């Protein structure tokens, strides 16, 4: 039997005072795929949910994504974004129920290849209210052939609050 | 640091123009299976998913799909294959989770997450295979005759203990 391969590369738990961004740098090229597991909450006044911008290698170009989501009691909807980062992975905001954090997973295959990079993101924000829930599926493409060596998450407004957690894992196919 | 006995690679294909992918002789030593298919193919196509060589009308699925501007859902019964996602000629990633695949008492469920952002698709399927056999073969076939051109497909075993 082959060896299990899901390995923790790095983690970050936000301390008191919060942080304006989280960066995983010097990501080794020794895996096949990357997985981010996120539990996030932002502090921007009035936000039910807030969307961190996710960028690779410090680049602010080449990101596009398709979103499928459902919120509250509405019918499912779809949207697209092209811009300076992936925007459709959500953190809870300060107007959501206290002590609730998002639950998100991002899968990035073939992160060292010389092809463009795809990613899959699933995110939920639930806080026991008929007006504040969000479920989203996001498909992203970074049109860049460079190997991914760093990942940064930056709230568009405000900061990540204490107890937000960020875990980066590597998965090897052999 | 290794995070427990999980994501053990069972087999990998590096794409080189295959018209289908077959993972056979899957050991029954895990709890769940995860299939990651990523890369590029000949064009936008649905990928069929079959187990143990069964091409009978024993599959059904419920789908939710987004195009970047609209969302829809559908259900299909008595199909000859489940769905492993879409492919396209840019870079896609499809993730299929097959739960409790080796039990011999219940029908099998597979969850598919499809990501084809360049061609404008994001979605998910829940698939049912109405068979109580343990899954020992997974077969993926583009439904319009396309090929797997540049990328990888890996089947991982997930153990609960």
Confidence of residue A2 (pLDDT cuts 50, 70, 90): low
Instruction: With CB atoms and an 8 Å threshold, state whether B95 touches A107.
Output: yes
In tens, the pLDDT along A7-62 reads 999 999 999 999 999 999 999 999 999 999 999 999 998 888 888 999 999 999 99
pLDDT digits 0-9 by tens, B39-56: 999 889 999 999 999 999
What are the chain B neighbours of A32 within 8 Å (beta carbons)? 152, 154
pLDDT, tens digit (0-9, with 9 covering 90-100), for A74-103: 889 999 999 999 999 999 999 888 999 999
- Residue in chain A lying closest to B38 (CA): A109
Do B152 and A169 make contact, defined as CB atoms within 8 angstroms? no
Confidence of residue A130 (pLDDT cuts 50, 70, 90): confident
Rounded distance, CA A40 to CA B140, Å? Answer: 36
- Alpha carbon distance A147, A26 (integer Å): 11
Q: Does the ipTM surpass 0.85?
A: yes
DSSP A93-133: -TTSPTT---EEEEEE-STTSSS-EEEEEEEEE--S-TTT-
- Residue A6 with chain B: CB contacts under 8 Å: 2-4, 6-7
Structure tokens at B104: 């011999």
Question: What's the gap in Å between the CA of A15 and the closest CA on chain B?
Answer: 23
Check residue B42 and give its pLDDT.
85
User: Which residues of chain B have a CB within 8 Å of the CB of A122?
Assistant: 113
Task: Note whether B152 contacts A75, CB cutoff 8 Å.
Answer: no
Among B116, B26, B100, CA closest to A118: B116
Q: Print pLDDT tens along chain B (161 aa).
A: 344 557 999 999 999 999 999 999 999 999 999 999 999 998 899 999 999 999 999 999 999 999 999 999 999 999 999 999 999 999 999 999 999 999 999 999 999 999 999 999 999 999 999 999 999 999 999 999 999 999 999 999 998 86
CB A89 within 8 A of CB A166: no
Q: Which of A66, A118, A172 sits opposite B68 (nearest CB)?
A: A66
Gap between the Cα atoms of A100 and A82, Å rounded: 29
For A116, the closest chain B residue by CA position comes to B91
**Contact call for B66 and A78, based on CB within 8 A:** yes
Query: What is the nearest CA distance from B56 to chain A, expressed in angstroms?
Result: 31
How many CB contacts within 8 angstroms connect chain A with chain B? 141
Cα-only R_g, chain B: 15
Would you put residue A41 in left (φ > 0), alpha (ψ -120 to 50) or beta?
Answer: beta
| Stretch A148-161: mean pLDDT | 97
Residues B32, B36, B40: CA angle, nearest 5 degrees = 160
Whether the predicted pLDDT of A1 surpasses 60 = no
B9 and A172 within 8 Å at the Cβ level: the answer is yes
State the pLDDT at residue B85: 98
Q: Compute the Cα dihedral for B40, A123, A174, B133 and give only its sign.
A: negative
Can you give the length of chain B in residues? 161
Q: How many helices and strands, by DSSP H and E, does chain B display? A: 0, 12
CB atoms closer than 10 angstroms to residue B159: 15
The answer to whether the CB atoms of A78 and B69 lie below 8 A apart is: yes
How far apart are alpha carbons B42 and B161 in whole angstroms? 40
% helix, strand, coil for chain A, step of 5: 0, 50, 50
In this prediction, residue A174 carries a pLDDT of 82
pLDDT exceeds 80 at position A132 = no
- Hey, of B91, B120, B152, which one would you mutate to test binding to chain A, going by the most A CBs within 10 A of its CB? B91
The label of the residue with tokens 């779809």 reads: A78
Please choose, from the candidates B62, B49, B36, the residue with its C-alpha nearest in 3D space to the C-alpha of residue B115: B36
Question: Which of A164, A160, A117, A123 is closest to A142 using CA atoms?
Answer: A117
The pLDDT, as a whole number, for residue B130 is 98
- Could you write out the three-class secondary structure of B75-90? EEEEECCEEEEEECCC
Q: What is the pLDDT of residue A46?
A: 83
Please give the C-alpha separations between residue B14 and each of A60, A160, B17, B21, in angstroms, as whole numbers: 31, 39, 9, 10
What pLDDT, on a 0 to 100 scale, did the predictor assign at position B2?
43
Asked if A4 and B4 come within 8 Å (Cβ–Cβ), the reply is yes
Share of chain A above pLDDT 70, in %: 98
CA angle A51, B122, B73 (to 5 degrees): 115
pTM for the predicted model, two decimal places = 0.95
């Amino acid at each position: 039997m082959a060896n299990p391969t899901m390995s923790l590369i790095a983690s970050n738990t936000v301390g008191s005072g919060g942080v304006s961004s989280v960066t995983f740098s010097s990501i080794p090229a020794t895996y096949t795929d990357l997985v981010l597991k996120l539990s996030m909450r932002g502090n921007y006044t009035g936000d039910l949910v807030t969307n961190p911008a996710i960028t690779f290698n410090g680049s602010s170009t080449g990101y596009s994504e398709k979103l499928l989501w459902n919120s509250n009691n509405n019918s499912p909807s779809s949207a697209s974004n092209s811009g300076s980062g992936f925007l459709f992975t959500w953190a809870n905001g300060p107007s959501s129920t206290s002590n609730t954090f998002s639950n998100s997973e991002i899968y990035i295959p073939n992160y060292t290849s010389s092809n463009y990079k795809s990613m899959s993101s699933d995110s939920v924000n639930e806080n026991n209210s008929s007006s504040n829930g969000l479920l989203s599926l996001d498909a992203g493409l970074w049109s860049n052939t460079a190997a991914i060596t760093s990942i940064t998450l930056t709230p568009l407004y405000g900061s990540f609050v204490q107890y937000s957690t960020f875990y980066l894992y590597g998965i090897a196919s052999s | 640091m290794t995070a427990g006995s999980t994501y053990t690679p069972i087999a990998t294909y590096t794409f080189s123009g295959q018209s289908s992918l077959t993972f056979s002789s899957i050991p029954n030593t895990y709890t769940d299976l995860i299939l990651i298919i990523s890369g590029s193919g000949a064009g936008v196509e649905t990928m069929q998913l079959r187990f143990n060589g069964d091409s009978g009308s024993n599959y059904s699925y419920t789908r939710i799909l987004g195009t970047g501007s609209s969302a829809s859902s559908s259900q299909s019964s008595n199909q000859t294959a489940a769905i492993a996602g879409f492919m396209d000629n840019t870079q896609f990633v499809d993730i299929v989770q097959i739960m409790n695949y080796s039990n011999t008492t219940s029908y099998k469920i597979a969850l598919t997450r499809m990501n084809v952002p360049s061609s404008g698709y994001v979605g998910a399927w829940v698939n049912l295979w109405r068979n109580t056999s343990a899954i020992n073969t997974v077969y993926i076939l583009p439904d319009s005759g396309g090929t797997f051109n540049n990328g990888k497909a890996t089947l991982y075993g997930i153990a609960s203990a």
